[in-house]
Amino acid sequence: MSMPDEEEWYLAPIPLGYYSYPDLLNGAIHIEDIAEINDAMRVESENRWRLNEAMKPNGG
């Protein structure tokens, strides 16, 4: 698993409710959890895109 250096990788799950900023600061959330959450978010995004493409006239 690759670990981006950007803050966005750590912060992106927060507005989606996966964890809170204080959880990130106080160590309640671990780097492995953040990696898994980001992987799940990426898969969900890809699945949404595929569904939208499949629902277009003529299959995309």
Number of domains in the chain: 1
Per-residue confidence at 59, pLDDT binned at 50, 70, 90?
A: low
**Average pLDDT along the chain:** 89
Task: Flag whether 47 is in a domain.
Answer: no
The structure tokens 């992106």 sit at: 12
Task: Flag whether 31 is in a domain.
Answer: yes
Domain extent for 34: 8-39
Rounded alpha-carbon distances, angstroms, from residue 42 to 3, 16, 45: 14, 13, 5
| In the chain, % of residues over pLDDT 90 | 78
Task: Flag whether 14 is in a domain.
Answer: yes
Q: Mean of the pLDDT values across residues 8-25?
A: 94
* Structure tokens, 27: 């160590």
Predicted confidence at residue 43, as pLDDT, reads 96
Predicted confidence at residue 5, as pLDDT, reads 61
Task: Flag whether 12 is in a domain.
Answer: yes
